[in-house]
A and B are shown apart, each in its own frame.
Chain A
C-alpha cells in the first residue's frame, strides 16, 4: 500500500515512454494520444500518492529525496502536459516522460520515511515554500533542457538536409526556441525565490542566512550560470543552438546541485539515507 500509487504512476510514465518511442519510429498520432492519456492518468495517480504520503506523514511529504524527486517528476509531467496542450508538440514526451520516470527511479534508490519527520526543523511552513519553488524552478529548467535536446536534433536534421519523417515530426526551431525564451526568465525567478526562501528559513531555524554548505554553494553556482544565460540571451541575443546547449548544461548542473551535492559532499541538506536529519545544529 505504501508505494502502490507511486508504482502505478511510474508504470504509466514508463508506458507513455514506450508510446512516445513508438511515435518517434512511426509518427503514429494514435500512439501519441494514448501516451498523452497515460501521462495524464499517471499524473492523477501520482497526485494520489502525494495525498497518501501526506496523510501518513501528517505534513507536507517533501522532507526526503524520495519525496522530493517524486515531486519533481510530477512537476515535469504536469508542465509537459501543459506545453503539449498549448504547443501541440507530443514528441516532447519522448524525452520528458523517460526523464520523469528516471527521476522516480532515482528517488526509489533513496529510502523513504513512513512516519512524520523526526527532525523538528522539517516541520515548518518554510519547507513547502522553499522546496516547491526550488523544485518548480528545476522542473522548468528540465523542460528547457528537453526543448534544447530536440532543438539540437532538429537543427542537425535541417542543416544536414536530412528532411524526412523525423524532421516533420519534430516541432519547428522557433517553437523549441520559444520554450527556452519563456522558460529562462520563469525558471530563473522560481529558482531565485527558492534560494531566498531557503536563506530566510535558515535564518529563522539556525540564525544565519547562508552557511556555505555544499548544496548552497552549488546552488549559487547554478544560479550564476542561469543569470549568465539570461544576460547572454537578453544583451547579446544568444538564441537557438547556443541557448539550447546552455539549457542542457544548466540542467545537468541543476541535477548535480539537487541530488549530487548533498549526497556526495554532505552538509545540512543531506536529509535522506542512513544519516537522516539535518545535521547542522
Chain B
C-alpha cells in the first residue's frame, strides 16, 4: 500500500477572519487533537499547525478513497461546527504540493507579513505537540526537519526577513543604527497619544531605563507613564529632559512647533553633542524640520518612517523570489527521498529472495560439503554471498536511481514480476520502514 502526504487547511488568503476564528484546533496543548486525527482509519502520521492566520492538518495517509471527507468531518467534530460552514475555504494539497506548501509556510513566505519570524516557532510548536503523542513517523519527522532546514537557509541566504516593515519597528532599527546598544538609552515621550504609546512599547523591549512622559496635563502623562512603568512630568520641563533623552517621540496636538532649531542647537552643546534621535509622529508636526540639519540630531517624521517601511516591504518581496527558489530546490530533494522510500520495500524483498535462494541451495549441497573444514565452509559462505551481492547490485542501483515517479512504479512492477515477489513486498514494507528509520537515525 502506498503512503501519501496530505495537507488540509485554511489561511488568511482563503478564509475570512470569521472562519479563521472558528477553526483553531483547540485543546492541542498536549497533542490531544493531533491524536484524534491519528486515530482516523488510514492516517499513519499527523501534525496540527495552528497560528493566528492559519490552521492546517498535515497527514501521512495510506491510500484510502474517502480520507479527505473523513478529515473534514473530524475537523467539524473537533470544533462542533457543521462542515458546510468552512469546507469551501479549505485547501487540499497532496504529495509534492503539500511538501512545497509546508516549506513555504515554515520559511514565512506564505505569511500575512512576508518574512515575519514568529511562524517558524509556531510550526515547531505544532510539531512538538505531535511528538508528545508519538503522532509522527519517518516521513513527517524528515519533512519537518527539512522544513526547519529550509527556513534556516531562506533566513541565511536571502534578505526576506531583514528589513523592518512596520513603522514602529523601523523606528527601533533606526535608533539602533544611531545609538548602538539601546539598553542604556533614555526615551522621552511628548504627548500621551496612542501612536506614541505604541512606538514606546516597541522600544521598551530594548531599553532598560524607564521612559519619561511629558504632557500638557500632568494627569494624562501620569496615566500613560503608569502603563509604561515610566515617569511623568509637565511639558514646561521639556528643556531639562531634552538634556537627558536619547530618543524623543513627539505626538502632541500642539499647533505650533514645540522644538525649535535654535533651542536644540543650544541643548546639543550642553549635551556635548551626544546624538539625539527625534521621531515626530504628530500632525501638525511638533519639531521644526530644520532641526535635522544640526550636527548629531536625526529627525524623522511619520511620513519618513512609512516610506521606509513600504520600501522595505518591496525589498522583502524581491528577496522572496530567491527564497522561492530555495524552497523549490528543497522540495525537489525531499521528493527524491520519498521516491527512494517507495522503492525500499521492493529492494528489501529482492535481497531477501536472493538470500533465501542462496541459503536453500547451500542447504541442498550440505551433504557434499560435509567434509569441509570450518575455514573452507566460511570461504564458501563468503563466495556465495558476494556472487549474490554482485548480481543484485546493478538492478538495485538502477531502481534506486530512477527519478521519475511513473517510470519508477513501472520498473518496480517489472522487478517484482522478474523476481516473482508478488504479495511479499507488502509484508516487507514494514521492514523497509524500520530500515529507513535506522538510516535516518544514523545520519
Residues of A whose CB lies within 8 Å of any CB of B are 27, 29, 154, 158-159, 161, 163-165, 167-168, 170, 172-175, 178, 236-242
Q: Are B162 and A178 in contact (CB under 8 A)?
A: no
Q: Are A173 and B295 in contact (CB under 8 A)?
A: no
Q: Are B311 and A164 in contact (CB under 8 A)?
A: yes
- For the complex formed, measure the closest distance between the CB of A24 and the CB atoms of chain B, giving whole angstroms: 15
Q: Are B180 and A240 in contact (CB under 8 A)?
A: no
Contact partners of A167 in chain B: CB under 8 A = 177
When chains A and B are docked, how far (Å) is the Cα of A41 from the Cα of B339?
44
Contact partners of B159 in chain A: CB under 8 A = 27, 165
Interchain CB contact (< 8 A) of A172 among B176, B272, B307, B315: B176
Q: Are A237 and B273 in contact (CB under 8 A)?
A: yes
Q: Are B304 and A174 in contact (CB under 8 A)?
A: no
Q: Are B180 and A172 in contact (CB under 8 A)?
A: yes
Give the contacts of B168-193 with A (CB-CB under 8 A).
Answer: 170, 173-174, 176-181
> For the complex, is B210 an interface residue (Cβ under 8 Å from A)?
no
Q: Are B178 and A172 in contact (CB under 8 A)?
A: yes
Q: Are A241 and B180 in contact (CB under 8 A)?
A: no
When chains A and B are docked, how far (Å) is the Cα of A65 from the Cα of B394?
68
Interchain CB contact (< 8 A) of A165 among B273, B307, B315: B315
- For the complex formed, measure the closest distance between the CB of A188 and the CB atoms of chain B, giving whole angstroms: 20
When chains A and B are docked, how far (Å) is the Cα of A133 from the Cα of B179?
33
> For the complex, is B241 an interface residue (Cβ under 8 Å from A)?
no
Q: How many A-B residue pairs have CB under 8 A?
A: 62
A sample of 9 cross-chain residue pairs with beta-carbon separation below 8 angstroms, ordered by A number, consists of A158-B174, A158-B178, A161-B304, A167-B177, A172-B176, A236-B272, A237-B274, A239-B296, A240-B275
By beta carbon, the residue of chain A nearest B297 is A159
When chains A and B are docked, how far (Å) is the Cα of A173 from the Cα of B275?
9
Interchain CB contact (< 8 A) of B273 among A29, A158, A239: A239
Q: By DSSP majority rule, is chain A's interface helix, strand, loop, or mixed? A: helix
By beta carbon, the residue of chain A nearest B272 is A237
Q: A172-B177, A174-B178 are in contact. Are A241 and B296 (CB under 8 A)?
A: yes
- For the complex formed, measure the closest distance between the CB of A168 and the CB atoms of chain B, giving whole angstroms: 7
- For the complex formed, measure the closest distance between the CB of A155 and the CB atoms of chain B, giving whole angstroms: 9
Interface size class of B (residues with CB under 8 A): 20 to 34
Contact partners of A178 in chain B: CB under 8 A = 180
Interchain CB contact (< 8 A) of B174 among A27, A163, A174, A237: A163
Give the contacts of B276-308 with A (CB-CB under 8 A).
Answer: 292, 295-296, 298, 300, 304, 307-308
By beta carbon, the residue of chain A nearest B311 is A164
Q: Are B178 and A173 in contact (CB under 8 A)?
A: yes
Contact partners of B348 in chain A: CB under 8 A = none
Q: Are A240 and B177 in contact (CB under 8 A)?
A: no
- For the complex formed, measure the closest distance between the CB of B195 and the CB atoms of chain A, giving whole angstroms: 19
The contact string, 1 if C-beta is below 8 Å from chain A, for chain B 256-280, is 0000000000000000111100000
By beta carbon, the residue of chain A nearest B156 is A29
- For the complex formed, measure the closest distance between the CB of B162 and the CB atoms of chain A, giving whole angstroms: 7
Q: Are A241 and B162 in contact (CB under 8 A)?
A: no
Contact partners of B173 in chain A: CB under 8 A = 168
Known: A168-B177, A170-B177, A174-B275. 4 other contacts (CB 8 A): A159-B298, A172-B176, A173-B178, A237-B272
Contact partners of B177 in chain A: CB under 8 A = 154, 158, 167-168, 170, 172-173
Q: A27-B159, A240-B275, A241-B296 are in contact. Are A163 and B179 (CB under 8 A)?
A: no
Q: A168-B163, A237-B273, A240-B275 are in contact. Are A174 and B315 (CB under 8 A)?
A: no
Contact partners of A161 in chain B: CB under 8 A = 300, 304, 307-308
Contact partners of B272 in chain A: CB under 8 A = 236-237, 239
- For the complex formed, measure the closest distance between the CB of A26 and the CB atoms of chain B, giving whole angstroms: 10
Interchain CB contact (< 8 A) of B180 among A170, A175, A236, A239: A175
Q: Are A173 and B315 in contact (CB under 8 A)?
A: no
Contact partners of A27 in chain B: CB under 8 A = 159
6 closest cross-chain pairs (CB), A and B: A174-B180, A237-B272, A172-B180, A163-B308, A172-B177, A240-B296
When chains A and B are docked, how far (Å) is the Cα of A185 from the Cα of B163?
37
Q: A27-B159, A172-B177, A172-B180 are in contact. Are A164 and B273 (CB under 8 A)?
A: no
Contact partners of B181 in chain A: CB under 8 A = 174
Q: Are A240 and B273 in contact (CB under 8 A)?
A: yes
When chains A and B are docked, how far (Å) is the Cα of A29 from the Cα of B24?
39
When chains A and B are docked, how far (Å) is the Cα of A193 from the Cα of B357?
89
By beta carbon, the residue of chain B nearest A243 is B273
When chains A and B are docked, how far (Å) is the Cα of A77 from the Cα of B179?
27
By beta carbon, the residue of chain B nearest A173 is B178
Interchain CB contact (< 8 A) of A238 among B273, B275, B292, B308: B273
Contact partners of B273 in chain A: CB under 8 A = 237-240, 242
- For the complex formed, measure the closest distance between the CB of B175 and the CB atoms of chain A, giving whole angstroms: 9
Q: Are A173 and B174 in contact (CB under 8 A)?
A: no
By beta carbon, the residue of chain B nearest A163 is B308
Contact partners of A241 in chain B: CB under 8 A = 295-296
When chains A and B are docked, how far (Å) is the Cα of A163 from the Cα of B173?
10
When chains A and B are docked, how far (Å) is the Cα of A178 from the Cα of B174?
18
- For the complex formed, measure the closest distance between the CB of A195 and the CB atoms of chain B, giving whole angstroms: 30
Q: Are A240 and B295 in contact (CB under 8 A)?
A: yes
By beta carbon, the residue of chain A nearest B268 is A237
Contact partners of B307 in chain A: CB under 8 A = 161
- For the complex formed, measure the closest distance between the CB of A180 and the CB atoms of chain B, giving whole angstroms: 13
By beta carbon, the residue of chain A nearest B163 is A168
Q: Are A173 and B162 in contact (CB under 8 A)?
A: no
Contact partners of B162 in chain A: CB under 8 A = 168
Interchain CB contact (< 8 A) of B295 among A163, A174, A242: A242
- For the complex formed, measure the closest distance between the CB of A222 and the CB atoms of chain B, giving whole angstroms: 25
Give the contacts of B318-349 with A (CB-CB under 8 A).
Answer: none
Q: Are A173 and B180 in contact (CB under 8 A)?
A: yes
Contact partners of A174 in chain B: CB under 8 A = 178-181, 275
Contact partners of A175 in chain B: CB under 8 A = 180
When chains A and B are docked, how far (Å) is the Cα of A238 from the Cα of B173?
25
> Most A CB atoms within 10 A — which of B162, B173, B178, B315?
B178
When chains A and B are docked, how far (Å) is the Cα of A164 from the Cα of B295?
22
By beta carbon, the residue of chain B nearest A237 is B272
When chains A and B are docked, how far (Å) is the Cα of A167 from the Cα of B308?
12
When chains A and B are docked, how far (Å) is the Cα of A138 from the Cα of B274?
28
